[in-house]
Chains A and B, each alone.
Chain A
Amino acid sequence: MSLPEVDVCIIGSGAGGAPMALELGRAGFKVVVLEKGRHYRPQDFIHDEILNSRRNFFMPLPWDEPHLVRQGAKGRYERSTAAWTANCVGGGTVHMSGFFYRLKPVDFRLRSTLGAVPGSTVADWPISYEELAPFYDRAEAELGVSGEAVPHPFAEPRAAPYPLPALDVHPVAGEIDKACKAMGWHSLPTARGIISRPYRGRAPCSYCALCGSYGCETGAKSGTDASLIPAALATGNVELRPGCMARTVEVDKQGRAKSVVYLDDKGVAREQPAKVVVVSCTAVESARLLLNSTSGRFPRGLANGSGLVGRNLIFSSFGESQATFRVSKHGEARPWLKDPAPFVNRSVQDFYLLPDARYGFRKGGTLGFMWTHPNPIHAAVGLAGKGATAVFGKALKDKMRDYRDSRILQFEVYAEYLPTPGSYVSVSDQVKDKYGIPVAAITVERHPMDLAATRFLVERGEEILLRLDPDDVRRGTTSGETTILQHGTCRFGNDPAASVLDKHCRAHEVPNLYVVDGSFMPTGGSVPSTLTIAANSFRVAHHLVRALKG
């Protein structure tokens, strides 16, 4: 059934979709936002690990809505929950940790900086840091970001302080500062998408410690569900439709987007006509939607005459190590071990770009320090281990008792994930989800330079941990991917033969189609990208409002 036409139909309500909804609504345009997940309220966010972290409260189950993932084109596809972010109003910003870094100027011109990288399709952005910077300011103010800018070798320029002062941190942050200083490195406060003071009618953080992986029951976490979406709805021009799964974007005879066909919350097929269609379902799911939107005009998928939709998939390169302190052993000498404050909020970016390639890479990344997540089931499953080396019985209980006597400090690495011809999204011709829609199939092929960089960063992070004199430092991995950070599948650029979107994130081939999640990014940067996606969406909204007003 076809519904009355609106000005703009936005698919997705996360970091990309919400800024568009807000700005278009404020400008007086009639907007419909389709969101496949539910609209949770703060009172739905309960500290229940089984509900939040182990079932389909946020992530779909792998037998309902799988992603197919394989390592290399010769690998075997496995059904997986990887590369999903939260399926609910607010998307991944609801269960994020909210590490709100900006990209740095070098991230906008990585190809120029590194030169050609064999085996990688690395490309410069068609815009500069300076063009995006005002929209970073805007996104930080609209969402609510707490932080403190300090000078350091890779500090990106910024016009003003953060909108909110930094959150309180655990005393171990000072220990990390001392350790870094002794090595000639610069630890800096990690900005967070969490408000430290009352802000625009929202209550500040209560320091509950269950932050990442959970929704925020006080609304202090700056997910779009707590910030931009309520503001967008308050304009009176934005209609939010949760539980609505987009199936295809339809085109007219001229090849312009004319409507979105979706299944509503009752499972009924609907068609929403719109003058402009904005896709923002995550880099993987947006590529899937476009590839599934085939027509006579676009037989290989919408806006995919170039064959580039789904190509150049980028995650974030991941590594981690953990340092364990036994409280009973060191509690006297280091009273800070007993301090329950949840946030460490320290980052090290001294190795963001190396002057030469003597270690096998030049583009490095970021180390972020934090206490390990307190989820007890997650921790215990890790202690039990897997396969033949797994333990049970008394051995497992002893490990659990040791855990009770431990504080575990860790770092995560966010390193460059270079685009390669072997990392891409396609749609499966065999597997469909519970809606009957072909699922996304993900092929991952890492560039060896990423792995060298990630290993290097893990080793540097371990040097910092060892300076704190823990009982044990254990390496997690040096070769992982953070699949909830995803980019690149509809990269933007000036050349229609080499990119899907133009510099305003409008499809080269479809003049009224925009993609505003991480898909546009030709390189992912070496920080979590949530803030960048939101900032870019404010930039695109600024352009679109002016274009629509003529």
Chain B
Amino acid sequence: MPRTRSPRGRLSRRSFIQRASFLGGGVVLLGPAACKRSEEKPKPPPTDTGPLGATAGGQALRTFSTFEYAVVAAATERILPRDEDPGALDADVPVYIDRILQTPEMEPVRDDFMGGVAALERRAQRTFQKGFAALTPAQQDELLTLFKDSPPRSGEAHFFELLTVMTLEGFLGDPSYGGNQGKVGWRLMGFDTVGTVAMAPPEGHDGPKCLRTCGVHK
């Protein structure tokens, strides 16, 4: 699948989080506010964004270059660092994000996420004259906190929220999406200790496939 990269560098769009409390499980969708599907968007001419990358373990990437992947890996590991329990990298959270951003319906989210990664990297260069992935954990936390504490409708705050939500999805989602390897996320939250019947999907469930085939509403 060809990669599309949005020229919309200005991350001013607001995320939408709706909690339908009555549903209990929470219907939470993240997405930009001002993207109008009904009006045909002029597509930017394809630009050469470089070859797709691979993880340190040699897994082929679908969304990120190797360089981008390093930024995402470093950022997710600060959201959920390894301590006495596994962290984001142990669960393959960046692999989840790389794959889930290829869902066609997620295109607006992909645009926002890629723009956010670029913004984080720019901020690292400007502040520390180093790439984000090369910073110390304390410096990385400083930048992430700066994004987090930005005004509520800013692109920085939106990206921080997106990063947190995607990291938690990758940590706690079904392993078939590429994250939550070894079900380490479910173990941390105790999802496997409650309930008389297995609450997780059966063996062999392919979440990404269902997302493609069931999630289409024509």
Contacts and interface: CB of A to CB of B under 8 A. Distances in A.
B44 interface: no
14 contacts: A37-B217, A38-B217, A44-B214, A49-B25, A49-B173, A57-B215, A212-B23, A213-B26, A342-B196, A374-B191, A377-B172, A390-B164, A404-B188, A480-B21
B94 interface: no
Contacts of B176: 48
A399 to B, nearest CB: 10
B42 to A, nearest CB: 17
Describe A's contact surface by its main secondary structure. Answer: loop
Interface in B155-197: 157, 160-161, 164-165, 168-169, 171-174, 176-177, 185-186, 188-191, 193-197
B215 A56 contact: yes
B217 A60 contact: yes
Contacts of A382: 26
A318 B20 CA distance: 10
Interface stretch (A1-9, A80-88, A132-140, A182-190): A80-88
B118 interface: no
Interface in A170-198: none
B105 A61 contact: yes
B134 interface: no
Quick one: which of B20, B164, B193 has the most chain A CB within 10 A? B20
B97 interface: no
Contacts of B17: 386
5 nearest A-B pairs in the assembled complex, by CB-CB distance: A213-B25, A404-B190, A373-B24, A378-B26, A432-B38
The number of chain B residues touching the other chain, given as a range, is 35 or more
Nearest to B16: A62
A387 B36 CA distance: 25
Contacts of B188: 397, 400-401, 404
A318 B32 CA distance: 26
B186 to A, nearest CB: 6
Interface in B33-63: 33-38
Interface stretch (A351-359, A482-490, A533-541): A482-490
B168 A48 contact: no
Q: Which of A37, A52, A381, A436 has the most CB of B within 10 A?
A: A381
Contact of A379 (B108, B169, B189): B189
A387 B176 CA distance: 30
A204 to B, nearest CB: 13
A267 B218 contact: yes
Interface residues of A, number: 91
A545 interface: no
B210 interface: yes
A440 to B, nearest CB: 14
Interface string B146-161: 0011001000010011
Interface of B: 14, 16-18, 20-29, 31-38, 78-81, 83, 85, 87, 100, 103, 105, 108, 141, 144, 148-149, 152, 157, 160-161, 164-165, 168-169, 171-174, 176-177, 185-186, 188-191, 193-202, 205, 207, 210-211, 214-218
B37 A63 contact: yes
A64 to B, nearest CB: 6
B164 A48 contact: no
A462 interface: no
Contacts of B14: 78
A316 B21 CA distance: 11
A390 B24 contact: no
A449 interface: no
A432 B36 CA distance: 8
A221 B153 CA distance: 40
Given A62-B31, A80-B18, A393-B78, A387 B152 contact: yes
A476 B26 CA distance: 14
B177 A396 contact: no
Interface string A379-393: 111101011101011
Contact of B23 (A64, A95, A341, A379): A95
A46 B205 contact: yes
Contact of A341 (B32, B37, B144, B196): B196
A48 B51 CA distance: 32
Interface string A450-478: 00000000000000000000000000100
Interface in A64-105: 64-65, 78-82, 87, 95, 97
A25 interface: no
Given A54-B28, A64-B105, A212-B24, A394 B81 contact: yes
Nearest to B202: A46
Interface string A311-349: 000001010100000000000000000001110000000
A375 B25 contact: yes
Contact of A388 (B37, B148, B164, B196): B148
Given A56-B217, A209-B197, A396-B79, A48 B174 contact: yes
Nearest to B24: A373
A207 B189 contact: no
Given A384-B164, A392-B144, A56 B105 contact: yes
Nearest to B96: A50
Contacts of B36: 63, 431
B160 A390 contact: yes
Contacts of B20: 81-82, 482-484
Nearest to A384: B164
Given A50-B173, A82-B18, A381-B164, A373 B25 contact: yes
A377 B173 contact: yes
